[in-house]
């Protein structure tokens, strides 16, 4: 599991005074970088090997400006050519959001999914959640 801390910016708040719901997918994307590096170590977009097939965010509580948020990132499931990243946002030791992202290993030249290599599966497995 990867854990990163974010300090919400004032611009990420909304009229109700909490973090806007559009911000969580952005935070989740930013904190997926360690997993992206399994596939593209230098993060060069010209060598990119992944596409997003689905994103879900379940909001479970409010998040507030100026108070640290901890994002936990792990792997929920590994398939043949895809895997599911599960992420959670925590503030004051309470889980405030849960996100799941389906990511597909993709061949941009052939425009189709590509099987994950054994090495990629092994790297992902090191961060697999246990039920």
- Sorted by where each begins, the domain ranges of the chain are 2-125
Tell me, what's the pLDDT at 107?
A: 93
Encode pLDDT of 22-35 as tens digits: 999 999 999 999 99
Tell me, yes or no, if the pTM score tops 0.85.
yes
Tell me, what's the pLDDT at 90?
A: 98
Tell me, what's the pLDDT at 16?
A: 78
Q: Which two tokens stand for residue 36?
A: 């992206």
What is the average pLDDT across 53-71? 95
Tell me, what's the pLDDT at 72?
A: 98
Judged against a pLDDT cut of 80, whether residue 67 lies above it is answered with yes
Q: In terms of CATH, what superfamily is 2-125?
A: Hotdog Thioesterase (3.10.129.10)
Contact 66, 17 (CB under 8 A): no
């Amino acid at each position: 599991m990867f854990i990163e801390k974010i300090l919400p910016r004032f611009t990420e708040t909304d009229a109700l005074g909490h973090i806007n719901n559009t911000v969580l997918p952005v935070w989740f994307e930013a904190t997926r970088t360690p997993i992206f590096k399994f596939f593209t170590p230098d993060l060069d977009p010209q060598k990119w090997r992944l596409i997003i097939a689905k994103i879900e965010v379940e909001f479970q509580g409010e998040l507030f400006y100026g108070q640290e948020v901890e994002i936990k990132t792990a792997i929920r499931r590994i398939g043949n050519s895809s895997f599911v990243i599960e992420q959670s946002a925590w503030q004051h030791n309470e889980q405030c959001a849960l996100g799941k992202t389906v990511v597909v290993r993709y061949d941009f030249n052939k425009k189709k999914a590509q099987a994950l290599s054994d090495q990629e599966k092994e790297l992902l497995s090191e961060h697999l959640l246990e039920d």
